[in-house]
Amino acid sequence: MASTAKARAAYAVGIYCATTLAFLLCAAPETLRVHTPYNHFALLAEAWLKGSLALTGPPPGYTGNNDFAAFQGRWFVTFPPLPAVILLPFVALAGSAERVRDGAVFLGLAGFGPLILFYVLEKLTRLGVSQRNRSANAILALLFGLGSVYFFTAVQGSVWFAAHVVAVVLGASYFLLALGADRPFLAGLMLGLAFLTRTPLLFASPLFVFEAYRVCKGPAGVRNWWEFSKKLAWFSLPVGLSLLICCWHNWARFGEPFNFGYGYLQIIWQSRIQRFGLFSYHYLPKNLGVLLTSLPYWTGLEPGTLFQINGHGLALWVTTPFYLTLLWNRRRTALDLGLWVTVLLVALPSLCYQNTGWLQFGYRFSNDYAVFLFGLLALSDLRFGRRFWLVSACAFALNAFGALSFGRPEFARYYDIDPTQVRIYQAD
């Protein structure tokens, strides 16, 4: 048993080192030298250290006033605050937000997402619901890190992408603890922290409910409802606490427990939020269009530029083509239903959100539920044959290009950026 644990740990360390090395090689050099231009979480941590929930003055000029809320003469960071907690000791030691290389901190954290996912896949094997061996689980974990939109997300370091990195670590931890429902309090804690990082992850709670229902069987398959209720109670305790913290935070800033402050953002498309709301069915067709149909433009308009990518990003099946195998999966387990329900519920808020994820290389909101999709891949009848390796190589090459090129001025010609966000396909 000890040797098995050591072997598993050796694989996990290898996955962390391999993915982190790739992230460091693909990140912009300035990410390791100075703070990012959108260091909102460091600025929020600095405000806390000064005893305020609001910034102590207007946002710094280098941020371009991008995604800050103005309310009653004060400026706020609207994003869920947990990543700022991670930066808090760094800001305290450095003395100011601008002395903290926030991008470098999140680069160092990014490799833990694939590492924890590997442990998730190993637990699926130990529970007997997956037939994958350790090498196959390691390959899937590496593909998550380097063959999905997580790759380009991990190297950015700025506010929107940093939140995804932290949420993936916490979401994968929740997945690991929810399996078998044997750690209900810790599973709820990880989910609550994930919610305080990326709010859609609150909708991942059905996974634990399905698992608790599955394992709480008495004699002759009769449900042990008392055990089931205890697990749900312990699970709900930290989740409920995180909701209370969130409501208090909103009330302390904006006077309303359910007001996150997005209505006070100083952005040019604020009018659509005022007209349709932050979430609406009105946004669904546009978001589905990006998720399912956004392709590169083949063009020869600029010398040496054969294609361009719209600022709304590429379709999910383009950046991660092996997800398509889930559509033809013939294997079914009791866990599949819980994972599919979880994926759909976590995806729904983003699909009805006023923003597609702009600016992005690929559909970054998929990071919220990608670890659950990789769990489904582990449970599926996907074979590691010649076709799989070819598709995986293409996914790695494409996402490596995204990691190297997105947000870099020297590669700007490959991106078609429409500041109005109206056009999501190639112009006529």
* pLDDT digits 0-9 by tens, 389-410: 999 999 999 999 999 999 999 9
Q: How high is the pLDDT of residue 301? A: 59
379 within a domain of the structure (yes/no): yes
Q: Is 223 helix (H, G, I), strand (E, B) or coil?
A: strand
Report the pLDDT value the prediction gives residue 423, as an integer from 0 to 100. Answer: 83
The count of domains in the chain is 1
Determine, yes or no, domain membership for 52. Answer: no
Angle formed at CA 99 by CA 94 and CA 105, multiple of 5 degrees? 85
Structural domain harbouring 313: 2-34+101-416
With bands split at pLDDT 50, 70 and 90, how would you rate the model's confidence at 217? confident
Q: Where are the alpha helices (DSSP H) in 155-296?
A: 159-178, 184-195, 206-215, 225-254, 270-276, 284-293
Can you give the pLDDT at residue 9? 96
Q: Are 395 and 151 in contact (CB under 8 A)?
A: no
pLDDT of residue 220: 62
pLDDT at residue 239 in the model: 98
* 310: three-class secondary structure by DSSP: strand
Q: Of 279, 319, 273, whose CA–CA distance to 296 is shortest? A: 319
Q: For 52-98, how does the pLDDT look when each residue is reduced to its tens digit (9 = 90+)?
A: 999 989 999 999 999 999 999 999 999 999 999 999 999 999 999 99
Asked if the structure places residue 392 within a domain, the reply is yes
What pTM value is reported for the model? Answer: 0.96
Domain assignment present for residue 70? The answer is no
- Tokens 């909708």 -> residue: 203
8 A C-beta contact, residue 219 and residue 192 = no
Helices 2-26, 112-126: inter-axial angle, 10-degree rounding: 150
Q: What is the mean pLDDT of the chain?
A: 94
- Mean pLDDT, residues 378-386: 93
| For residues 129-137, average pLDDT | 96
pLDDT for residue 330: 83
**Predicted confidence band at 39 (pLDDT cuts at 50, 70, 90)?**
very high
What is the separation of C-alpha 318 from the centre of its chain, rounded to a whole number of angstroms?
A: 18
Q: Is 90 left (phi over 0), alpha (psi -120 to 50) or beta?
A: alpha
Q: What own/partner pairs with CB < 8 Å and gap ≥ 24 does 42-45 have?
A: 42/84, 42/87, 42/90, 42/91, 42/97, 42/98, 42/100, 42/102, 43/77, 43/97, 44/77, 44/81, 44/84, 45/84, 45/85, 45/87, 45/88, 45/90, 45/91, 45/92, 45/97
Q: What is the pLDDT of residue 387?
A: 93
Residue 83 lies in a domain: no
